[in-house]
Structure 1
Amino acid sequence: MKKFSALLLIACMQGFFLPTAVAQEGRAALVPLPSVDDFTRGKDGWALGLGLGIEYETAYEGSDEFGFELDPAGALQWRRGDNIFFWAGEALGWRGLRADTWLFEALIGFDEGREEGDSKKGYLDGLGDNDESFEFVLQVRRAFAADWRYWLIGRVVAGSNGNLGLVGVGRRFGDKLDGSGSEINLVAVFHDSKFANTDFGITAEQSLASGLNETRLSGGFRSLGVNYNYRYIINDNWQIFGEALYEHYSSKVQDSPIARSKYEAEVGIGVIYVF
Protein backbone atom coordinates (compact mmCIF):
# COMPACT_ATOMS: atom_id res chain seq x y z
CA MET A 1 0.00 0.00 0.00
CA LYS A 2 2.86 2.34 0.77
CA LYS A 3 4.37 1.82 -2.69
CA PHE A 4 1.00 2.24 -4.40
CA SER A 5 0.31 5.48 -2.52
CA ALA A 6 3.68 6.96 -3.42
CA LEU A 7 3.26 6.09 -7.11
CA LEU A 8 -0.25 7.56 -7.16
CA LEU A 9 0.95 10.81 -5.63
CA ILE A 10 3.88 11.09 -8.07
CA ALA A 11 1.58 10.43 -11.03
CA CYS A 12 -0.85 13.10 -9.93
CA MET A 13 1.90 15.65 -9.44
CA GLN A 14 3.55 14.87 -12.78
CA GLY A 15 0.28 14.99 -14.65
CA PHE A 16 -1.11 18.18 -13.17
CA PHE A 17 1.70 20.18 -11.60
CA LEU A 18 3.29 21.01 -14.95
CA PRO A 19 0.63 23.45 -16.24
CA THR A 20 1.13 27.04 -15.23
CA ALA A 21 -0.72 27.86 -12.01
CA VAL A 22 -3.85 29.93 -12.55
CA ALA A 23 -3.98 33.13 -10.53
CA GLN A 24 -6.84 33.01 -8.08
CA GLU A 25 -6.85 36.66 -7.08
CA GLY A 26 -10.40 37.97 -6.97
CA ARG A 27 -11.85 34.52 -6.30
CA ALA A 28 -12.05 35.07 -2.59
CA ALA A 29 -12.61 32.11 -0.30
CA LEU A 30 -14.91 32.48 2.69
CA VAL A 31 -11.71 33.07 4.68
CA PRO A 32 -8.23 32.88 3.10
CA LEU A 33 -7.03 29.98 5.26
CA PRO A 34 -5.52 26.77 3.82
CA SER A 35 -7.10 24.72 6.63
CA VAL A 36 -10.65 25.82 5.71
CA ASP A 37 -11.89 24.11 2.53
CA ASP A 38 -13.83 26.35 0.16
CA PHE A 39 -14.47 24.90 -3.31
CA THR A 40 -17.13 27.48 -4.29
CA ARG A 41 -14.75 29.93 -6.02
CA GLY A 42 -16.55 32.75 -4.23
CA LYS A 43 -19.93 31.96 -5.80
CA ASP A 44 -23.22 30.97 -4.24
CA GLY A 45 -24.53 27.47 -4.92
CA TRP A 46 -23.22 23.93 -4.89
CA ALA A 47 -19.55 22.94 -5.06
CA LEU A 48 -17.77 19.61 -4.91
CA GLY A 49 -14.14 18.67 -4.36
CA LEU A 50 -12.94 15.06 -4.26
CA GLY A 51 -9.45 13.69 -3.76
CA LEU A 52 -7.12 11.38 -1.95
CA GLY A 53 -4.49 11.86 0.72
CA ILE A 54 -1.82 9.74 2.32
CA GLU A 55 -0.86 10.14 5.99
CA TYR A 56 2.00 8.85 8.08
CA GLU A 57 0.74 8.88 11.65
CA THR A 58 0.68 7.26 15.07
CA ALA A 59 -1.53 4.19 15.31
CA TYR A 60 -3.59 5.53 18.25
CA GLU A 61 -3.43 8.15 21.02
CA GLY A 62 -0.17 7.62 22.91
CA SER A 63 1.21 5.04 20.50
CA ASP A 64 4.86 4.73 19.51
CA GLU A 65 3.86 2.77 16.39
CA PHE A 66 3.56 4.60 13.06
CA GLY A 67 2.06 3.66 9.73
CA PHE A 68 0.75 4.91 6.39
CA GLU A 69 -2.94 5.34 5.71
CA LEU A 70 -4.90 6.33 2.61
CA ASP A 71 -7.84 8.65 3.26
CA PRO A 72 -10.45 10.25 1.00
CA ALA A 73 -10.39 14.06 0.87
CA GLY A 74 -12.72 16.84 -0.15
CA ALA A 75 -16.31 17.85 0.58
CA LEU A 76 -19.72 18.59 -0.85
CA GLN A 77 -20.58 22.23 -0.11
CA TRP A 78 -23.43 24.68 -0.55
CA ARG A 79 -22.67 28.37 -0.19
CA ARG A 80 -24.96 31.31 0.33
CA GLY A 81 -23.21 34.60 1.00
CA ASP A 82 -20.96 34.25 4.04
CA ASN A 83 -22.30 30.80 4.98
CA ILE A 84 -21.18 27.38 3.82
CA PHE A 85 -22.95 24.11 4.66
CA PHE A 86 -20.84 21.03 4.04
CA TRP A 87 -20.62 17.26 4.14
CA ALA A 88 -17.03 16.05 4.44
CA GLY A 89 -16.60 12.33 4.99
CA GLU A 90 -17.90 11.59 8.48
CA ALA A 91 -18.78 15.20 9.30
CA LEU A 92 -21.83 17.32 8.55
CA GLY A 93 -21.63 20.99 9.42
CA TRP A 94 -21.85 24.73 8.83
CA ARG A 95 -19.37 27.58 8.91
CA GLY A 96 -20.10 31.27 8.72
CA LEU A 97 -18.14 34.52 8.48
CA ARG A 98 -19.34 37.49 10.52
CA ALA A 99 -18.03 41.09 10.44
CA ASP A 100 -15.07 39.92 8.30
CA THR A 101 -13.10 38.87 11.42
CA TRP A 102 -15.24 36.18 13.09
CA LEU A 103 -15.42 32.63 11.73
CA PHE A 104 -17.88 30.25 13.40
CA GLU A 105 -18.09 26.54 12.68
CA ALA A 106 -20.42 23.87 14.04
CA LEU A 107 -20.49 20.23 12.99
CA ILE A 108 -21.52 16.74 13.96
CA GLY A 109 -18.79 14.18 13.38
CA PHE A 110 -18.14 10.50 13.98
CA ASP A 111 -15.35 9.15 16.18
CA GLU A 112 -14.30 5.63 15.17
CA GLY A 113 -12.91 4.88 18.63
CA ARG A 114 -9.98 2.56 19.30
CA GLU A 115 -9.60 -1.17 18.75
CA GLU A 116 -7.20 -3.62 20.37
CA GLY A 117 -5.91 -4.43 16.90
CA ASP A 118 -4.72 -0.85 16.39
CA SER A 119 -1.48 -1.91 18.08
CA LYS A 120 0.33 -4.42 15.88
CA LYS A 121 2.69 -5.15 18.77
CA GLY A 122 -0.14 -6.12 21.11
CA TYR A 123 0.20 -3.19 23.53
CA LEU A 124 -3.61 -2.83 23.68
CA ASP A 125 -4.38 -6.51 24.27
CA GLY A 126 -6.86 -6.92 27.12
CA LEU A 127 -8.09 -3.33 27.03
CA GLY A 128 -11.01 -4.04 24.73
CA ASP A 129 -12.39 -1.68 22.09
CA ASN A 130 -13.48 1.90 22.78
CA ASP A 131 -17.01 2.58 21.64
CA GLU A 132 -17.67 4.49 18.44
CA SER A 133 -19.49 7.74 19.07
CA PHE A 134 -20.87 10.92 17.56
CA GLU A 135 -19.28 14.24 18.56
CA PHE A 136 -20.49 17.81 18.41
CA VAL A 137 -17.79 20.36 17.56
CA LEU A 138 -18.03 24.12 17.93
CA GLN A 139 -15.10 26.26 16.77
CA VAL A 140 -14.54 30.01 16.72
CA ARG A 141 -11.71 31.99 15.16
CA ARG A 142 -11.28 35.72 15.78
CA ALA A 143 -8.94 37.50 13.35
CA PHE A 144 -7.10 40.66 14.34
CA ALA A 145 -7.85 42.16 10.89
CA ALA A 146 -9.87 41.32 7.78
CA ASP A 147 -6.78 39.96 5.99
CA TRP A 148 -6.68 37.03 8.44
CA ARG A 149 -2.96 37.36 9.05
CA TYR A 150 -3.25 36.57 12.77
CA TRP A 151 -6.10 35.11 14.80
CA LEU A 152 -7.21 33.52 18.06
CA ILE A 153 -8.88 30.11 17.99
CA GLY A 154 -11.12 28.19 20.38
CA ARG A 155 -12.72 24.77 19.98
CA VAL A 156 -15.01 22.58 22.07
CA VAL A 157 -15.63 18.88 21.33
CA ALA A 158 -18.50 17.23 23.22
CA GLY A 159 -19.66 13.63 23.01
CA SER A 160 -20.56 10.48 24.89
CA ASN A 161 -16.86 9.78 25.51
CA GLY A 162 -16.30 13.12 27.24
CA ASN A 163 -15.39 16.68 26.40
CA LEU A 164 -12.26 18.36 25.04
CA GLY A 165 -11.36 21.99 24.47
CA LEU A 166 -8.49 23.96 23.03
CA VAL A 167 -7.37 27.57 22.78
CA GLY A 168 -4.58 28.96 20.64
CA VAL A 169 -3.20 31.46 18.16
CA GLY A 170 -2.53 31.24 14.45
CA ARG A 171 -0.70 32.97 11.62
CA ARG A 172 -1.20 32.87 7.85
CA PHE A 173 1.61 33.07 5.27
CA GLY A 174 1.00 34.26 1.72
CA ASP A 175 -1.06 37.11 0.27
CA LYS A 176 -3.71 35.44 -1.91
CA LEU A 177 -7.35 35.39 -0.86
CA ASP A 178 -8.27 32.07 -2.49
CA GLY A 179 -7.28 29.82 0.42
CA SER A 180 -3.84 28.93 -0.91
CA GLY A 181 -0.60 29.44 1.01
CA SER A 182 0.17 28.11 4.46
CA GLU A 183 -0.69 28.66 8.11
CA ILE A 184 0.47 27.57 11.53
CA ASN A 185 -1.46 27.21 14.79
CA LEU A 186 -0.17 26.86 18.36
CA VAL A 187 -2.72 25.47 20.81
CA ALA A 188 -3.17 24.31 24.40
CA VAL A 189 -5.55 21.36 24.82
CA PHE A 190 -7.68 20.43 27.85
CA HIS A 191 -9.95 17.46 28.57
CA ASP A 192 -12.38 16.35 31.26
CA SER A 193 -11.83 13.13 33.20
CA LYS A 194 -14.15 11.06 31.00
CA PHE A 195 -12.35 12.07 27.81
CA ALA A 196 -8.96 11.53 29.46
CA ASN A 197 -9.84 8.04 30.65
CA THR A 198 -11.36 7.06 27.33
CA ASP A 199 -7.92 7.46 25.75
CA PHE A 200 -5.55 6.76 28.65
CA GLY A 201 -7.45 5.26 31.59
CA ILE A 202 -7.31 1.60 32.65
CA THR A 203 -10.10 0.11 34.76
CA ALA A 204 -9.62 -2.69 37.30
CA GLU A 205 -11.13 -5.18 34.85
CA GLN A 206 -8.86 -4.00 32.03
CA SER A 207 -5.87 -4.18 34.38
CA LEU A 208 -6.54 -7.85 35.13
CA ALA A 209 -6.97 -8.67 31.44
CA SER A 210 -3.99 -6.69 30.16
CA GLY A 211 -1.47 -6.84 33.01
CA LEU A 212 -1.17 -3.03 32.97
CA ASN A 213 -1.53 -0.99 36.13
CA GLU A 214 -4.98 0.36 36.92
CA THR A 215 -4.97 4.05 35.95
CA ARG A 216 -7.48 6.81 36.62
CA LEU A 217 -6.87 10.29 35.22
CA SER A 218 -8.44 13.56 36.30
CA GLY A 219 -9.46 16.32 33.93
CA GLY A 220 -7.28 19.32 33.12
CA PHE A 221 -4.36 20.14 30.88
CA ARG A 222 -3.79 17.51 28.16
CA SER A 223 -1.13 18.78 25.75
CA LEU A 224 0.53 21.52 23.76
CA GLY A 225 0.24 21.26 20.02
CA VAL A 226 1.35 22.81 16.76
CA ASN A 227 -0.10 22.14 13.33
CA TYR A 228 0.88 23.40 9.90
CA ASN A 229 -1.41 23.48 6.83
CA TYR A 230 -0.48 24.08 3.19
CA ARG A 231 -2.56 24.43 0.03
CA TYR A 232 -1.44 25.10 -3.55
CA ILE A 233 -4.03 25.78 -6.26
CA ILE A 234 -2.59 24.46 -9.52
CA ASN A 235 -5.45 25.53 -11.77
CA ASP A 236 -9.23 25.84 -11.75
CA ASN A 237 -9.65 22.17 -10.89
CA TRP A 238 -6.58 20.77 -9.14
CA GLN A 239 -5.22 21.50 -5.66
CA ILE A 240 -2.40 20.06 -3.57
CA PHE A 241 -2.72 20.11 0.21
CA GLY A 242 -0.50 19.12 3.09
CA GLU A 243 -0.59 19.01 6.87
CA ALA A 244 1.80 18.31 9.73
CA LEU A 245 0.82 17.96 13.39
CA TYR A 246 2.73 17.54 16.64
CA GLU A 247 1.10 17.21 20.07
CA HIS A 248 3.22 16.93 23.23
CA TYR A 249 1.40 15.30 26.15
CA SER A 250 1.30 16.57 29.72
CA SER A 251 3.18 14.68 32.43
CA LYS A 252 -0.10 13.21 33.78
CA VAL A 253 -0.95 11.75 30.39
CA GLN A 254 2.59 10.43 29.96
CA ASP A 255 2.24 8.54 33.27
CA SER A 256 -0.46 6.31 31.75
CA PRO A 257 0.82 2.87 30.63
CA ILE A 258 -1.11 3.41 27.39
CA ALA A 259 1.05 6.42 26.53
CA ARG A 260 4.15 4.69 25.22
CA SER A 261 5.28 7.97 23.66
CA LYS A 262 5.41 11.53 24.93
CA TYR A 263 3.77 12.85 21.79
CA GLU A 264 1.45 12.25 18.88
CA ALA A 265 2.51 13.22 15.36
CA GLU A 266 1.35 12.95 11.78
CA VAL A 267 2.20 14.29 8.35
CA GLY A 268 0.09 14.06 5.23
CA ILE A 269 -0.18 15.20 1.62
CA GLY A 270 -2.81 14.78 -1.05
CA VAL A 271 -4.59 16.08 -4.14
CA ILE A 272 -8.15 17.32 -4.70
CA TYR A 273 -10.11 17.77 -7.92
CA VAL A 274 -12.71 20.59 -7.80
CA PHE A 275 -15.65 20.01 -10.13
Structure 2
Amino acid sequence: MKRLLAIALLAMPMATAAAAQDFSVDLGLGVTGKPVYPGAEDAEATPWLIWRNARFGAAGEGEKQGFSVSPSFGMVGERKPEDDAALAGTDKIERAYELGGKVSYGAGPVTAYGSVRKGFEGHTGLTGELGAKYRTDLSDRITLWSGLELGYGDSDYNNTYFGVSPAEEIAREYGEYKPGGGINSAAVKFQARYAINDKTAILGEVEYGKLIGDAGDSPIVQEEWQPSLRLGVVRRFSFGF
Protein backbone atom coordinates (compact mmCIF):
# COMPACT_ATOMS: atom_id res chain seq x y z
CA MET A 1 0.00 0.00 0.00
CA LYS A 2 2.85 2.37 0.86
CA ARG A 3 4.48 1.71 -2.52
CA LEU A 4 1.21 2.37 -4.36
CA LEU A 5 0.82 5.71 -2.59
CA ALA A 6 4.43 6.58 -3.39
CA ILE A 7 3.84 5.86 -7.09
CA ALA A 8 0.69 8.00 -7.01
CA LEU A 9 2.47 10.92 -5.39
CA LEU A 10 5.31 10.75 -7.89
CA ALA A 11 3.03 10.45 -10.92
CA MET A 12 0.52 13.16 -10.02
CA PRO A 13 2.84 16.19 -10.33
CA MET A 14 4.19 14.99 -13.69
CA ALA A 15 0.76 14.34 -15.12
CA THR A 16 -0.62 17.60 -13.77
CA ALA A 17 2.19 19.73 -15.14
CA ALA A 18 1.70 18.22 -18.59
CA ALA A 19 -2.09 18.23 -18.83
CA ALA A 20 -3.70 20.80 -16.50
CA GLN A 21 -3.23 23.29 -13.70
CA ASP A 22 -5.78 21.80 -11.28
CA PHE A 23 -6.19 18.26 -10.03
CA SER A 24 -8.79 16.75 -7.70
CA VAL A 25 -9.33 13.24 -6.39
CA ASP A 26 -11.43 11.40 -3.81
CA LEU A 27 -9.26 9.44 -1.36
CA GLY A 28 -10.47 7.24 1.46
CA LEU A 29 -10.50 3.97 3.35
CA GLY A 30 -13.06 1.24 3.79
CA VAL A 31 -13.64 -2.49 3.87
CA THR A 32 -14.42 -4.88 1.04
CA GLY A 33 -15.92 -8.34 1.07
CA LYS A 34 -14.69 -10.32 -1.94
CA PRO A 35 -13.49 -13.78 -3.01
CA VAL A 36 -10.27 -14.95 -1.35
CA TYR A 37 -8.65 -14.91 -4.81
CA PRO A 38 -10.02 -14.44 -8.35
CA GLY A 39 -11.97 -17.63 -8.90
CA ALA A 40 -12.36 -18.63 -5.24
CA GLU A 41 -15.59 -19.95 -3.80
CA ASP A 42 -15.01 -18.54 -0.30
CA ALA A 43 -14.97 -14.84 0.56
CA GLU A 44 -13.00 -12.65 2.97
CA ALA A 45 -13.02 -9.10 4.32
CA THR A 46 -10.00 -6.90 3.49
CA PRO A 47 -9.10 -3.18 3.71
CA TRP A 48 -10.20 -1.01 0.78
CA LEU A 49 -7.92 1.80 -0.32
CA ILE A 50 -10.17 4.18 -2.28
CA TRP A 51 -8.98 6.29 -5.21
CA ARG A 52 -11.94 7.75 -7.11
CA ASN A 53 -12.96 10.59 -9.43
CA ALA A 54 -9.42 11.67 -10.29
CA ARG A 55 -9.66 14.55 -12.73
CA PHE A 56 -7.80 17.48 -14.17
CA GLY A 57 -9.60 20.81 -14.16
CA ALA A 58 -11.94 22.39 -11.61
CA ALA A 59 -13.23 20.06 -8.92
CA GLY A 60 -16.92 19.25 -8.86
CA GLU A 61 -19.39 16.51 -8.03
CA GLY A 62 -20.94 16.29 -11.48
CA GLU A 63 -19.72 13.98 -14.21
CA LYS A 64 -17.24 15.74 -16.47
CA GLN A 65 -18.62 16.17 -19.98
CA GLY A 66 -16.70 15.31 -23.14
CA PHE A 67 -13.30 13.64 -23.11
CA SER A 68 -11.06 13.60 -20.05
CA VAL A 69 -7.81 11.87 -19.13
CA SER A 70 -6.71 10.88 -15.64
CA PRO A 71 -4.18 8.56 -13.97
CA SER A 72 -5.25 5.04 -13.02
CA PHE A 73 -3.77 3.05 -10.15
CA GLY A 74 -4.41 -0.46 -8.88
CA MET A 75 -3.17 -3.02 -6.44
CA VAL A 76 -3.60 -6.81 -6.34
CA GLY A 77 -2.93 -8.52 -3.02
CA GLU A 78 -0.50 -11.40 -2.68
CA ARG A 79 -1.74 -14.95 -3.23
CA LYS A 80 -0.34 -17.83 -1.18
CA PRO A 81 -0.92 -21.59 -1.52
CA GLU A 82 -2.26 -21.71 2.05
CA ASP A 83 -4.96 -19.11 1.29
CA ASP A 84 -7.31 -21.78 -0.07
CA ALA A 85 -7.33 -25.56 -0.52
CA ALA A 86 -7.73 -25.11 -4.28
CA LEU A 87 -4.38 -23.28 -4.38
CA ALA A 88 -2.39 -26.15 -2.88
CA GLY A 89 0.62 -26.82 -5.07
CA THR A 90 0.66 -23.39 -6.70
CA ASP A 91 3.47 -20.84 -6.42
CA LYS A 92 3.18 -17.78 -4.22
CA ILE A 93 2.35 -14.54 -6.08
CA GLU A 94 3.64 -11.32 -4.52
CA ARG A 95 1.52 -8.18 -4.16
CA ALA A 96 1.30 -6.30 -7.46
CA TYR A 97 1.17 -2.53 -8.04
CA GLU A 98 -0.38 -1.11 -11.20
CA LEU A 99 0.17 2.27 -12.84
CA GLY A 100 -1.51 3.59 -15.97
CA GLY A 101 -4.13 5.93 -17.38
CA LYS A 102 -7.86 6.27 -17.91
CA VAL A 103 -9.83 7.94 -20.70
CA SER A 104 -13.48 8.89 -20.11
CA TYR A 105 -16.24 10.45 -22.19
CA GLY A 106 -19.25 12.01 -20.49
CA ALA A 107 -22.53 12.76 -22.25
CA GLY A 108 -25.22 13.89 -19.81
CA PRO A 109 -25.72 11.24 -17.11
CA VAL A 110 -23.81 8.61 -19.11
CA THR A 111 -20.04 8.14 -18.87
CA ALA A 112 -18.04 5.65 -20.92
CA TYR A 113 -14.47 4.85 -19.93
CA GLY A 114 -11.46 2.72 -20.66
CA SER A 115 -8.30 2.19 -18.61
CA VAL A 116 -4.99 0.39 -18.99
CA ARG A 117 -2.33 -0.25 -16.32
CA LYS A 118 1.12 -1.82 -16.24
CA GLY A 119 1.89 -4.17 -13.36
CA PHE A 120 5.00 -4.26 -11.19
CA GLU A 121 6.33 -6.96 -8.84
CA GLY A 122 3.48 -9.52 -8.47
CA HIS A 123 2.72 -9.36 -12.20
CA THR A 124 4.34 -7.46 -15.04
CA GLY A 125 1.49 -7.62 -17.55
CA LEU A 126 -1.12 -5.17 -18.79
CA THR A 127 -4.64 -5.02 -17.39
CA GLY A 128 -7.56 -2.63 -17.45
CA GLU A 129 -11.28 -2.11 -17.82
CA LEU A 130 -13.80 -0.97 -20.43
CA GLY A 131 -17.23 0.10 -19.29
CA ALA A 132 -20.08 2.59 -19.03
CA LYS A 133 -22.19 3.90 -16.14
CA TYR A 134 -25.38 5.91 -15.68
CA ARG A 135 -25.76 8.54 -12.96
CA THR A 136 -28.99 9.18 -11.04
CA ASP A 137 -29.27 12.04 -8.52
CA LEU A 138 -31.86 11.12 -5.90
CA SER A 139 -31.23 14.29 -3.88
CA ASP A 140 -28.58 16.90 -3.20
CA ARG A 141 -26.77 14.34 -1.06
CA ILE A 142 -27.52 10.93 -2.59
CA THR A 143 -26.18 9.85 -5.99
CA LEU A 144 -26.45 6.43 -7.60
CA TRP A 145 -24.55 4.88 -10.50
CA SER A 146 -25.34 1.68 -12.38
CA GLY A 147 -23.09 0.24 -15.06
CA LEU A 148 -21.50 -2.59 -16.98
CA GLU A 149 -17.78 -3.35 -17.10
CA LEU A 150 -15.43 -5.72 -18.92
CA GLY A 151 -12.03 -6.60 -17.49
CA TYR A 152 -8.98 -7.30 -19.64
CA GLY A 153 -5.59 -8.90 -19.09
CA ASP A 154 -2.77 -9.68 -21.49
CA SER A 155 -1.21 -13.16 -21.59
CA ASP A 156 1.30 -12.25 -18.86
CA TYR A 157 -1.42 -11.06 -16.51
CA ASN A 158 -3.76 -13.99 -17.18
CA ASN A 159 -0.94 -16.51 -16.83
CA THR A 160 0.02 -15.06 -13.46
CA TYR A 161 -3.42 -15.41 -11.89
CA PHE A 162 -5.09 -18.17 -13.90
CA GLY A 163 -2.26 -20.24 -15.39
CA VAL A 164 -0.65 -23.46 -14.17
CA SER A 165 3.05 -23.87 -14.94
CA PRO A 166 4.73 -27.27 -15.45
CA ALA A 167 6.85 -26.59 -12.33
CA GLU A 168 3.89 -26.23 -9.99
CA GLU A 169 2.79 -29.29 -8.05
CA ILE A 170 -0.82 -28.72 -9.05
CA ALA A 171 0.22 -29.51 -12.64
CA ARG A 172 0.44 -33.20 -11.67
CA GLU A 173 -3.33 -33.23 -11.28
CA TYR A 174 -4.48 -30.79 -13.95
CA GLY A 175 -1.53 -30.49 -16.30
CA GLU A 176 -0.08 -27.26 -17.64
CA TYR A 177 -2.58 -24.48 -18.34
CA LYS A 178 -1.50 -21.39 -20.26
CA PRO A 179 -4.32 -18.89 -20.89
CA GLY A 180 -4.00 -16.27 -23.59
CA GLY A 181 -4.68 -12.57 -23.32
CA GLY A 182 -8.12 -11.02 -23.71
CA ILE A 183 -11.35 -10.24 -21.88
CA ASN A 184 -11.33 -12.15 -18.59
CA SER A 185 -14.36 -10.81 -16.71
CA ALA A 186 -17.75 -9.15 -17.11
CA ALA A 187 -19.61 -7.39 -14.31
CA VAL A 188 -22.73 -5.45 -13.36
CA LYS A 189 -21.88 -2.67 -10.90
CA PHE A 190 -23.94 -0.44 -8.61
CA GLN A 191 -22.50 2.47 -6.65
CA ALA A 192 -24.04 4.84 -4.10
CA ARG A 193 -22.61 8.02 -2.59
CA TYR A 194 -23.99 9.93 0.38
CA ALA A 195 -22.45 13.39 0.80
CA ILE A 196 -21.91 14.26 4.46
CA ASN A 197 -20.66 17.70 3.40
CA ASP A 198 -18.99 19.31 0.38
CA LYS A 199 -15.79 17.28 0.78
CA THR A 200 -16.63 14.10 2.70
CA ALA A 201 -18.92 11.25 1.67
CA ILE A 202 -19.87 7.66 2.42
CA LEU A 203 -19.35 5.38 -0.57
CA GLY A 204 -20.85 1.93 -1.17
CA GLU A 205 -20.50 -0.51 -4.06
CA VAL A 206 -22.05 -3.81 -5.08
CA GLU A 207 -20.52 -5.78 -7.94
CA TYR A 208 -21.68 -9.03 -9.48
CA GLY A 209 -19.07 -10.29 -11.92
CA LYS A 210 -18.20 -13.45 -13.79
CA LEU A 211 -14.86 -14.81 -14.98
CA ILE A 212 -15.05 -15.57 -18.68
CA GLY A 213 -12.83 -16.76 -21.52
CA ASP A 214 -9.59 -18.52 -20.69
CA ALA A 215 -9.73 -17.15 -17.14
CA GLY A 216 -13.06 -18.82 -16.45
CA ASP A 217 -11.74 -22.14 -17.80
CA SER A 218 -8.73 -22.19 -15.45
CA PRO A 219 -8.44 -25.31 -13.26
CA ILE A 220 -7.88 -23.15 -10.16
CA VAL A 221 -11.25 -21.40 -10.62
CA GLN A 222 -13.77 -22.90 -8.22
CA GLU A 223 -16.55 -20.41 -8.94
CA GLU A 224 -16.94 -18.29 -12.07
CA TRP A 225 -19.40 -15.89 -10.42
CA GLN A 226 -17.51 -13.38 -8.29
CA PRO A 227 -19.66 -11.01 -6.17
CA SER A 228 -18.15 -8.27 -4.01
CA LEU A 229 -19.36 -5.61 -1.58
CA ARG A 230 -17.53 -2.44 -0.49
CA LEU A 231 -18.20 0.31 2.05
CA GLY A 232 -15.97 3.24 2.90
CA VAL A 233 -15.51 6.94 3.58
CA VAL A 234 -13.88 9.30 1.08
CA ARG A 235 -12.71 12.90 1.16
CA ARG A 236 -12.09 15.13 -1.84
CA PHE A 237 -8.65 16.68 -2.18
CA SER A 238 -7.88 19.46 -4.67
CA PHE A 239 -4.45 20.64 -5.80
CA GLY A 240 -3.75 23.86 -7.67
CA PHE A 241 -0.55 24.38 -9.69
Same fold, judged at TM 0.5 (above): yes
**1:86-235 paired onto structure 2 within 5 Å:** 100-119=65-84, 122-145=85-108, 149-160=109-120, 161=123, 162-174=125-137, 180-207=142-169, 211-235=173-197
Q: Give the letter for the 1:194 counterpart.
A: D
- Aligned partners of 1:154 and 1:107: how far apart in 2? 10
Q: Please give the root-mean-square deviation of Cα atoms over the aligned residues, in Å.
A: 3.4
- Aligned partners of 1:108 and 1:49: how far apart in 2? 12
Distance 1:235 1:224, change over 3 A: same
Deviation for aligned residue 1:238: 5.0
Q: Give the letter for the 2:101 counterpart.
A: L
- Aligned partners of 1:274 and 1:54: how far apart in 2? 19
Distance 1:246 1:181, change over 3 A: same
- Aligned partners of 2:26 and 2:153: how far apart in 1? 34
- Aligned partners of 1:250 and 1:46: how far apart in 2? 35
Classify the secondary structure of the residue corresponding to 1:198: helix
1:82 aligns with 58
Deviation for aligned residue 1:221: 2.5
Q: Give the letter for the 2:96 counterpart.
A: S
- Kindly name which structure, 1 or 2, has the bigger radius of gyration based on alpha carbons: 1
Contact 2:72 2:116 in 1 (8 A): no
Superposed CA deviations along residues 209-234 of structure 1, whole A, max 9, x for unmatched, are: 77443211111221211221111013
Distance 1:109 1:186, change over 3 A: closer
- Aligned partners of 2:132 and 2:23: how far apart in 1? 32
Deviation for aligned residue 1:137: 2.3
Give unmatched runs, 5+ long, in structure 1: 1-43, 85-96
- Aligned partners of 1:259 and 1:168: how far apart in 2? 24
Q: 2:36 aligns with which of 59, 62, 65?
A: 59
Contact 1:196 1:217 in 2 (8 A): yes
Classify the secondary structure of the residue corresponding to 1:202: coil
2:220 aligns with 258
Superposed CA deviations along residues 80-136 of structure 1, whole A, max 9, x for unmatched, are: 84379xxxxxxxxxxxx98x42232114544333222322xx221221211333322
Structure having the higher strand fraction is 2
Give unmatched runs, 5+ long, in structure 2: 1-21
Classify the secondary structure of the residue corresponding to 1:194: helix
1:270 paired to 2:225 = no
Q: State the identity %.
A: 24
Using the size of structure 2 for normalisation, the TM-score is 0.72
Deviation for aligned residue 1:67: 2.0
1:242 aligns with 204
